[in-house]
Amino acid sequence: MASDFLKRFRGFAAARKSTQEQPEPVAVAASAPGPRASHIVDNGVYLEGMRIASPGTVHETVVELDRHPGSLGWIGLYRPDATELHELARQFGLHELTLEDAINARQRPKVEQYDGITFLVLKAARYIDETETVEFGELHLFVGPNFVITLRHAEAPDLPSVRSRLESHPQLLARGTDAILYGILDAVVDGYRPVVEGLENDIAEIEAQVFDGHRNVSRRIYELTREVIEFQLAVLPLSDILDTVTETFDQNTDDPALRQYLRDVADHVARVSERVDRFRQLLRDILTVNATLVAQRQNDEMQRVGVASNLQADQTRKISGWAAILFAPSLIGSLYGMNFQNMPELDWYYGYPFSIALMIAVSGALYVIFRGRDWI
């Protein structure tokens, strides 16, 4: 019997890895008395791994659990309001501190135990190809001796698929709440794989953009770094959570196959953590390289501006030098072109050749001076 169950369990794990994810349905209002709509997505009572009832309310679930000793209740809710959460707390004896966390949401991944009830907060993630972004979702779990309550605050993870796979393997579901907890943890961790692949592709694109000098690459590096940090904050606490869950499994079950597959989930978490840590280091290196390339391009631009400025200054000096050389003959010519009556040089026999010689001498002297200073 044990070997047969192990084979079926391995078949379940293989099916879990190969089954395509189904789109997450939006919260469906279950039939409930009163005008207020219920946020229960699915509600089932199981006995020996088989669903024996689908109650419409939380109270009906408690009644069915009392009617069938040894049965197991699994209530799935999508973005429940405070009224429903208080009803859950009253019916199942949930601790007020965990209830407060569930109402407020926005919790970091953690695991806590109160009066025999385990409270877990998990961060699911999914990669959106259209926008090349990572969407994070929060999942709260209450795991008691004969019930599991899941509260989703986002589309991920795909819990209806987890329930469907577990229901298709009654022998596994008959193991109780530990089997459900394993299935949910496995689904959350498996959901990280496409996120890791998407981030890896984004980093490869950013590397190409950095060396191509893309204008908005710095902004994209910053945004991707924030996603990687948030992803790391979702993954890192899972190691401690799985250690605590493993200890609970050791106390509650003697099934080695269940513990083995839980260790497999822990191995996947470790690999994802290592890759995410490498992503952070790689993005840090890419940011450094980008800053270096930007500084180098700025220096090259400044050098080009400096060369242009020097060339312009050189041309200005040459023009100024020639203008000064040509100014001397113009000054002398304009002076003697005034034709005043009292100008002795006008009647001088050597006046004309003297003025020409004076122009040549002054212009030559200026040429020699500017040429010596490399102005012309």
Q: Pull the structure tokens for residue 257.
A: 């196959």
CATH assignment of the domain containing 134: 3.30.460.20
Which pLDDT does position 252 carry in this prediction?
A: 64
Per-residue pLDDT tens digits for 167-176: 999 998 988 8
Residue 201 domain-assigned (yes or no): no
Give the pLDDT score at 253.
63
150 located within any domain? yes
Q: How many residues does the chain have?
A: 376
Helix or strand run (H / E) with residue 136 = strand 133-143
Single out the residue of 190, 201, 186, 222 nearest to residue 126, CA to CA: 190
Domain of residue 87 covers 26-169
Whole-number pLDDT of residue 119: 93
**Within a domain: 217:** no
Does the bond joining 157 to the residue before it have cis omega, within 30 degrees of 0? yes
Total structural domains in the chain? 1
Q: Considering the domain boundaries, does residue 114 fall inside one?
A: yes
143 within 8 A of 151, measured Cβ to Cβ:
no
107 part of a folded domain = yes
Distance of alpha carbon 81 from alpha carbon 255, whole angstroms: 37
Tell me if 43 is assigned to some domain. yes
Res 339: pLDDT = 67
Ranges of residues in the chain with a pLDDT under 50 are 1-35
Per DSSP bridges, beta strands 133-143 and 147-152 are antiparallel
Predicted pLDDT at 22? 39
Whether 81 is in a domain gets the answer yes
Give the other-Cβ count within 10 Å of 105's Cβ.
13
- pLDDT tens-digit map of 268-315: 999 999 999 999 999 999 988 888 888 887 787 788 887 888 788 778
Radius of gyration of the chain, Cα coordinates, nearest whole angstrom:
41
State both tokens at 157: 């993870």
Residue 198 vs residues 191, 227, 267: alpha-carbon distances, Å = 12, 11, 21
Instruction: Answer whether residue 10 is part of any domain.
Output: no
Q: What is the pLDDT of residue 23?
A: 39
pTM above 0.75, yes or no: no
Residues contacting 126, CB < 8 A, separation 6+? 134, 135, 137, 155, 156, 191, 194, 195
